[in-house]
Chain A
């Protein structure tokens, strides 16, 4: 079970993540991603949308597999900028690690 955290979007915004909520879950980014399977990066974006912080931290290693080729950002029909969202998540995960 994932408990939705309505305040998470604000928390993550500090790390440069402003666009994740514009994603409408089409999955184009996951289809075009040349490196990582299992719904990357959409899964991460979805976790931001519902504020599933634990899920993000559990799967954080996926973030560092991303090469930032930019294909997802180029093809996103909503301008949700998945590449930038992944970068922001990296900053968030590092900051969270520092805090702990």
Chain B
């Protein structure tokens, strides 16, 4: 707050409440008789003025409030308008611009809670009660100061894929020290498992080497591979992360994809289909703690693994996933007219779209945990078309058949992949979700090992059988298993199991937990460019938090009245957040009393409910204020 701020001492100055009721351009006034509400408010005790405006959030609306504050007509403000999530901050800022404390403000929601759901006289009466309750509360509001927390100028990025690398580099460029924590021995994540990236044809290896090289060369960034976060405490500006670094355990499956063998690999090498190997793996486990101001989550995705028997997967060795195909293509020298896989000539490839994506309840079976992937994985259409084009251009003797539900090539330059597929003579067959293709063993005399049967809507619903030497499943994305992080940090997770941002449009990389940000595919399926966009956004948000050196938090937290507290400790037992409340011996008289750590307190009020002395209260939402609101709501004459 600036020094110009007028000092309001609520002990001496009687509350002079100003009520400002918004028409919302008809959104409110079509159902609520706004002028009638205004007339009723004007008569309330403690209310100095009640005014209306077509759009209170407009400049003239806000200036009207500022004028009343500046000339002393009012010293408490209530705006009755839309939901506080939309404009509470707007009007608190109006108070700041008028040189006032922003916390002598209360907001009444008479749009979402009234005009959008009630009509006629009932709407006007409910609006009246809500606004008068807000006025009663406003009378008792005290100026508050935001909680100020020092921010440690250090960021931690969890995940060393392309999004984590991008976020780490962007933060370091802003002059912030960064620790990058990666679970595997490699940097590059899932991108390192790809080859030529659609639609531009960039080499995934080059992208990873380039960005990982910049990260490793940057003295501001410390990279910790084979490391995982095991403990978490603290709050924005001052988090503490317990990290465990240990020798990697390689599973059989990893060995197949070359993630295992590190023999002959030197630090700094790029291991194809694994990534950049920055440091030798640790010989034994070690634990350390990182103190950090912000956390960027870049925990990525994992590829959907088809169940046994899904389109013949694991029943037939000729059925592979798209990632398998990409690696095979990259490792096969381009010789001859036909693609060869393990020495077998591939005359015909069937590629099936939407495997493990866009699943429909009642049609697709749930996995063993009861999950369905109802979302579109967004990248597989383009990746499949890209692979088909590469095959057709490199091996004209190999035919490609694509089985799709819908083709969604949604980004710049991606529709061209579909056009190119036509020019490359890729044949498309279309199936309905409830009538998926079947992969069966070929029992006819021709020597194709498999057949893919489909009721093809492009051939007028006729059953069509495609002979196939290879079946490729375009598997989608699933969230990485990060349930430990989710539990530790209490992260919100969507119904799709990806991490859930505060607002999909307006706050797309933030979580409700201040200081924890989202980068890349931990949030939703994305392509490389989108993941880097998200990472860049998260880095900027993180830098903005750390930039001032301190963080300001809303002051709506518990406060103990030391004169009343006699140390029952009931509040500490009731407290839902570890560390937010504790008993402390007071120097003055040696009595143990409750003490609040404001940065951790969520203002839930559990402590207020249990204190036998009424010695603890939530600032901005005190028991007295609630009582005043309730009294006003039940008062008989308010809406008369």
Contact B422 A39 (CB under 8 A): no
- Measured in the bound complex, the distance between the Cα atoms of B423 and A24 in whole Å is 10
**Interface presence of B347 (CB below 8 A):** yes
- Measured in the bound complex, the distance between the Cα atoms of B463 and A25 in whole Å is 17
Q: Distance in Å from the Cβ of B439 to the closest Cβ of chain A?
A: 14
Chain B residue contacts of A1, Cβ below 8 A: 462-465
**Interface presence of B358 (CB below 8 A):** no
- Measured in the bound complex, the distance between the Cα atoms of B425 and A22 in whole Å is 6
**Interface presence of A14 (CB below 8 A):** no
**Interface presence of A3 (CB below 8 A):** yes
Contact B422 A2 (CB under 8 A): no
Contact B428 A6 (CB under 8 A): no
Contact A25 B458 (CB under 8 A): yes
**Interface presence of B348 (CB below 8 A):** yes
Most B CB contacts (10 A, CB to CB) among A2, A6, A49 go to A6
Given A4-B401, A4-B467: A9 touches B459 (CB 8 Å cut-off) = no
Contact B348 A43 (CB under 8 A): no
Q: Using an 8 Å CB-CB cutoff, how does the interface string of B461-483 with A read, 1 for contact, 0 for none?
A: 01111110000000000000000
- Measured in the bound complex, the distance between the Cα atoms of B399 and A21 in whole Å is 11
Q: Using an 8 Å CB-CB cutoff, how does the interface string of B396-428 with A read, 1 for contact, 0 for none?
A: 000101000000000000000010001101111
- Measured in the bound complex, the distance between the Cα atoms of B452 and A4 in whole Å is 10
Given A4-B401, A6-B399, A21-B422: A50 touches B467 (CB 8 Å cut-off) = no
**Interface presence of A53 (CB below 8 A):** no
Given A1-B464, A4-B465: A21 touches B425 (CB 8 Å cut-off) = yes
**Interface presence of B288 (CB below 8 A):** no
Chain B residue contacts of A49, Cβ below 8 A: 427
Chain B residue contacts of A43, Cβ below 8 A: 460
Given A3-B467, A6-B347, A6-B399: A22 touches B422 (CB 8 Å cut-off) = yes
Chain A residue contacts of B422, Cβ below 8 A: 21-24, 78
Contact A46 B458 (CB under 8 A): yes
Mark out the residues of chain A between 10 and 53 whose CB falls within 8 Å of any chain B CB in the assembled complex: 21-25, 39, 43, 46-47, 49-50, 52
Q: Distance in Å from the Cβ of A7 to the closest Cβ of chain B?
A: 8
- Measured in the bound complex, the distance between the Cα atoms of B232 and A65 in whole Å is 77
Given A50-B459, A78-B422: A2 touches B428 (CB 8 Å cut-off) = no
- Measured in the bound complex, the distance between the Cα atoms of B428 and A22 in whole Å is 10
Q: Distance in Å from the Cβ of A12 to the closest Cβ of chain B?
A: 12
Number of contacting residues on A, CB 8 A? 19
Chain B residue contacts of A46, Cβ below 8 A: 458-460
Q: Distance in Å from the Cβ of B574 to the closest Cβ of chain A?
A: 65
Chain A residue contacts of B427, Cβ below 8 A: 4, 21, 49-50
Write the chain B residue with the least CB distance to A8.
B399
Chain A residue contacts of B399, Cβ below 8 A: 6, 9
Q: How large is the interface on B (under 10, 10 to 19, 20 to 34, 35 or more residues)?
A: 20 to 34
- Measured in the bound complex, the distance between the Cα atoms of B462 and A47 in whole Å is 11
- Measured in the bound complex, the distance between the Cα atoms of B442 and A3 in whole Å is 12
Write the chain A residue with the least CB distance to B419.
A78
Contact B423 A25 (CB under 8 A): no
Mark out the residues of chain B between 443 and 469 whose CB falls within 8 Å of any chain A CB in the assembled complex: 456, 458-460, 462-467
Given A1-B464, A4-B401: A24 touches B428 (CB 8 Å cut-off) = yes
Contact A50 B464 (CB under 8 A): yes
Contact A4 B460 (CB under 8 A): no
- Measured in the bound complex, the distance between the Cα atoms of B392 and A9 in whole Å is 14
Given A3-B465, A6-B347: A39 touches B425 (CB 8 Å cut-off) = no
Chain A residue contacts of B347, Cβ below 8 A: 6
Q: Which of A25, A39, A47 contacts B428 (CB 8 A)?
A: A25
Chain A residue contacts of B426, Cβ below 8 A: 21
Q: Distance in Å from the Cβ of B417 to the closest Cβ of chain A?
A: 13
Given A9-B425, A24-B422, A25-B428: A2 touches B462 (CB 8 Å cut-off) = yes
Contact B458 A4 (CB under 8 A): no
Given A21-B422, A49-B427: A6 touches B463 (CB 8 Å cut-off) = no
Chain B residue contacts of A50, Cβ below 8 A: 427, 429, 456, 459, 464, 466
Q: Distance in Å from the Cβ of A95 to the closest Cβ of chain B?
A: 22
- Can you identify 18 A-B contacts, CB atoms within 8 angstroms? A1-B465, A2-B459, A2-B463, A2-B465, A3-B467, A4-B464, A21-B422, A21-B425, A21-B426, A21-B427, A22-B423, A23-B422, A46-B459, A47-B459, A50-B427, A50-B464, A50-B466, A52-B459
16 further interface pairs, Cβ-Cβ under 8 Å (given A1-B463, A2-B464, A43-B460) = A1-B464, A1-B465, A2-B459, A2-B465, A4-B401, A21-B425, A22-B422, A22-B425, A24-B418, A24-B422, A25-B428, A46-B460, A49-B427, A50-B456, A50-B459, A78-B422
Interfacial residues, chain B to chain A (CB-CB below 8 A)? 347-348, 399, 401, 418, 422-423, 425-429, 456, 458-460, 462-467
Closest 5 pairs (CB-CB, A-B) = A21-B425, A6-B399, A4-B466, A22-B422, A6-B348
